[in-house]
Amino acid sequence: MAKGSLYPSESRSFYDRCTGTHIRQITTSSCLHHHPFFIIPAYDNAMQRMIFISYRTGTAQIFAEERATGELRQLTDRPDISEWSVHPGRNGKAVFFTAGTSGWRLDLETLEERELVDFTATTLREEGMVAAAMGTTSVSHDDRWWAVRFNVGKESALAIVDTDTGEHNIILHRDNIGHLQFCPDDANLLYYAGPLTDRVWVIHRDGSENRRLYKQNVEKKEWITHETWIPGTRELAFVDWPHGVRCVNVDTGIERQVTTVNAWHAISNHTGTRMVADTNFPDIGIQIFDARDGVGKPETLCYPGASSIGEHWNGPFPYTAGPIPVYAPQHTHPHPSFSPDGKYVVFTSDRSGYAQIYEATISNT
């Protein structure tokens, strides 16, 4: 089928055998699916649609579940989408993605694809399966700005694109740039991941005040990863693998513990009051915990049953001497994230043999 095609709802419901949580399976087709990376919203703020990737046509294409009807709509039909770059706009009008060397804006009413920018770069992502190799992008919470990283030779570059005009400024060149995220409380402030031994950096949208926010203790092989903002606090949370989640205030530099559970990919809800995380080595299910009380007592939401491939996580920090080849297909990771209203958690699981998308209902919202 082609762009614009409608597929009947594939929704089916069941309850988690251990927690009793209601879970809705959104996709069932015998192929690979996944929602956007956990730092990227899967829904628009009004929750009209849930955006996802499906391989049901043979290649990675952008789809939407129309939540009013449950129907699945194919939004693209092209061979070159960078599947982890996909970022829905929060106002529900557009989806942004990269393909080839260009950045595109997909109108969700007309399905027109408009090329916003052509970087004429070698590639918009690194080789591999993790970090900068995923090619994630970030849209500011007012939908005005789009942050995209790309390569210029052996160097990484960070561009800020106007989502209306396509005008852009390259604000940074350096050795490594990945996992860009606008601060939810300040569209002039971004986090980005630097090298694996020195990840935690922030920069202003105009390129000023590029600085390290947290210095990793490399001698102790501290494994800092999967950074995310906590809305309403100007704090950046990060996983101190496998010892829990900590955070640091971007203005004061004050650090604090959020939780000690072995959170893997952890992110806040839209109010910054709770966090959700998948777990690994051991997998103790998807956990929800308070983001602000300094204790973060975890509560198991459900058990996703994903294969969560990535043996390099089952040991000490492996990147002391630099990047190494790893096998960690991202569609095998749950990557949970909250819906805008805080009532659901969306996640991906290959429990059935194919990566499918699920939505768990939070009972105590």
pLDDT one-digit tens code per residue, 109-164: 999 999 999 987 555 655 544 444 558 999 999 999 999 999 888 899 999 999 99
Specify the DSSP element, H or E, that contains 62. Answer: strand 61-66
Quote the Cα angle for 24-26-27, to 5°.
135
pLDDT one-digit tens code per residue, 73-102: 999 999 999 999 999 999 999 999 999 889
What pLDDT, on a 0 to 100 scale, did the predictor assign at position 278? 99
Longest dimension (CA), the chain: 54
Please provide the DSSP assignment of 111-150 as one string. Answer: --EEEEEE---S-SS-SSSSGGGG---EE-TTS-EEEEEE
Is residue 107 within 8 A of residue 116, CB to CB? The reply is no
What pLDDT, on a 0 to 100 scale, did the predictor assign at position 129? 44
pLDDT one-digit tens code per residue, 270-309: 999 999 999 999 999 999 999 999 999 999 999 999 999 9
Please, what are the domains in the chain? 6-361 (2.130.10.10)
What pLDDT, on a 0 to 100 scale, did the predictor assign at position 154? 85
pLDDT one-digit tens code per residue, 217-251: 988 999 999 999 999 999 999 999 999 999 999 99
Alpha helices (H) in 246-320, listed in sequence order: none
What pLDDT, on a 0 to 100 scale, did the predictor assign at position 132? 45
Is residue 354 within 8 A of residue 31, CB to CB? The reply is yes
Q: What is the chain's mean pLDDT, rounded?
A: 95
**Comparing C-alpha atoms, which of 345, 334, 362 is closest to residue 278?**
334
Please provide the DSSP assignment of 249-264 as one string. Answer: ETTT--EEEEE-S-EE
The token pair that represents 25 in the structure block: 């399976």
Please provide the DSSP assignment of 87-112 as one string. Answer: EE-TTSSEEEEEETTEEEEEETTT--
Whether pLDDT at 23 is above 50: yes
Contacts of 200 (CB under 8 A, 6+ apart): 191, 193, 194, 212, 213, 214, 215, 216, 224, 227, 236, 238, 248
Whether pLDDT at 322 is above 90: no
Of all residues in the chain, the percent with pLDDT exceeding 90 is 91
